Amino acid sequence: MLQKKYEKIANKEALFGVGLVIINFVWWFLFAYGLGSKDPSTYTYIMGLPAWFFYSCVVGFIVMMILVIFVVKLFFVEIPLDEEETDE
């Protein structure tokens, strides 16, 4: 019975992980191919990096770290990994 509960929790947390990966990929794809598909002579630069790279990789990394911390603190549950002793 307890194992089913833990499996349900693990499945929910795995779905959150997959969702975060999808968000990360969409963020990266939209900035990299949205801003990066222009002619390189028209690029704008932020801190020496092309804007598309800065937003897709640097800002994207920071945003994803904040999202991961938020999701882990709010939705993930600590479960014991050692075997439970049963009273007989």
Distance between CA atoms of residues 17 and 33, nearest Å: 24
Evaluate if residue 74 carries a pLDDT over 90.
yes
Q: Where are the domains of the chain?
A: 18-36+43-75
Which of 38, 21, 32, 34 is closest to 59 using CA atoms?
A: 32
Question: What is the model's pLDDT at position 56?
Answer: 92
Residue found under tokens 């600590």: 78
Burial of residue 23 (CB within 10 Å: 0-12, 13-18, 19+) is middle
Residues 15-68: tens digit of each pLDDT: 999 999 999 999 999 988 887 777 888 889 999 999 899 999 999 999 999 999
Cβ atoms of 16 and 75 closer than 8 Å: yes
User: Which pTM was predicted?
Assistant: 0.79
Question: What is the model's pLDDT at position 81?
Answer: 76
Distance between CA atoms of residues 33 and 48, nearest Å: 19
Evaluate if residue 80 carries a pLDDT over 70.
yes
